[in-house]
Structure formats: structure tokens, C-alpha cells
């Protein structure tokens, strides 16, 4: 039981602030925080150790937030989705409005096909569907997306708007 308490004490603030950055709602963030740790306790045996505990908790929190949005049919702010799109893990990467606007500017400088792939990924469209819509292979859609993310991260890092974890 001590390990569970220690897990909670070590990560509750980080997970809460991460949830606040997604929800912008104190009460909802508290509810999702409780659900996150409840899910983590139930699923701790499934934790494979491929990432840090903190990253795993952030992933659970994000999935619970997305589930909440689907259940309440609320939309996700586009800027929030851009931040999620760019970061491989969301650990310690809370995007500001300034960073989201800069990402949008940078995406707009790319060729039309890249812009379409990126926007569809931000909207959560699977690679297979993107490939069909743009008449390209699924692997091409993945490569375009990967290269654009890498390019964005490099520029944002140079500009001080992104810190890799």
C-alpha cells in the first residue's frame, strides 16, 4: 500500500497540472486525477516499463480526458491538439498559446500535401484514412507526418518553445 501512496504523492501535482492544461477546469481536473490514479492502480501490473511512470500516468490521464470529451461530446481546442500532435510524450511539455500559434505558422509554410496530412493527424484521422483521402500510400502518410513532427520539434527547440524529454 505504501508504494501506491508514494506513487500518488510523487506524481499527483504533475498529473493535475497536466490535466489543467488540457481541461482548463479545476473540478474536472480533480475528477480526472482521481480516475487516473484509480486506473493506474488497477492496471499497474500491465505497466511494462517502456516509459517512465510519469509518462504512463500522463497517457492514462490524456486517454481519460479524451474519453470524457467523447462522452460529453465537447470539442477539443485546436491548439491543445497541436500540442498533443507535436509532443511524443507530454511529460513536462505544456504548450502555450504562443507555441501553438507558432506551430500553426510553421505548418502553413509546408507544401499542401504535408499540411493536409498534418491537419488530418491533428484531427485524429488514422493513417489508412489519410492515405485513401489523399491517394497516397499509408507508409507515405506516416513518413510525411514523422518528418514534419521532427522538423517542427527542431525549430521549436531552436526557438526555445520545446524541450525534448
pTM of whole model > 0.75?
A: no
Find where cell 511524443 sits.
88
The DSSP letter of residue 58 is H
- Determine how many CB atoms are found less than 10 A away from the CB of residue 78: 13
The boundaries of the domain holding residue 148 are 79-158
d(CA 31, CA 72): 14
Give the C-alpha distances (Å, rounded to integers) separating 156 from 81, 98, 105, 164.
16, 11, 12, 10
The residue from 75, 102, 124 where one domain ends is: 75
Lowest mean pLDDT among 36-50, 51-65, 71-85, 148-162: 71-85
Average pLDDT, rounded, for the chain: 80
pLDDT digits (tens, 9 = 90+) for 10-58: 999 999 988 888 778 889 899 999 999 998 888 887 777 777 888 888 8
pLDDT digits (tens, 9 = 90+) for 86-114: 554 444 444 556 667 788 889 999 999 99
Do residue 97 and residue 140 come from a single domain? Answer: yes
Do residue 20 and residue 83 come from a single domain? Answer: no
What SS3 state is found at 102? helix
Do residue 60 and residue 112 come from a single domain? Answer: no
75 pLDDT above the threshold of 70: no
**Confidence tier at 82 by pLDDT (50, 70, 90):** low
Amino acid at each position: 500500500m505504501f508504494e501506491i501512496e508514494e506513487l500518488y504523492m510523487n506524481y499527483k501535482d504533475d498529473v493535475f497540472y497536466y490535466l489543467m492544461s488540457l481541461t482548463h477546469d479545476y473540478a474536472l481536473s480533480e475528477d480526472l486525477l482521481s480516475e487516473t490514479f484509480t486506473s493506474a492502480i488497477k492496471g499497474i501490473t500491465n505497466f511494462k516499463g517502456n516509459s517512465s511512470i510519469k509518462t504512463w500516468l500522463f497517457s492514462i490521464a490524456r486517454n481519460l480526458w479524451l474519453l470524457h470529451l467523447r462522452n460529453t461530446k465537447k470539442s477539443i481546442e485546436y491548439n491543445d491538439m497541436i500540442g498533443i500532435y507535436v509532443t511524443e510524450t507530454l511529460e513536462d511539455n505544456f504548450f502555450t498559446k504562443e507555441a501553438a500559434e507558432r506551430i500553426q505558422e510553421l505548418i502553413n509554410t509546408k507544401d499542401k500535401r504535408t499540411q493536409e496530412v498534418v491537419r488530418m493527424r491533428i484531427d485524429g484521422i488514422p493513417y489508412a484514412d489519410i492515405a485513401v483521402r489523399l491517394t497516397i500510400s499509408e507508409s507515405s502518410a506516416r513518413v510525411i507526418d514523422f518528418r514534419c513532427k521532427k522538423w517542427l520539434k527542431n525549430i521549436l527547440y531552436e526557438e526555445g518553445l520545446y524541450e525534448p524529454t
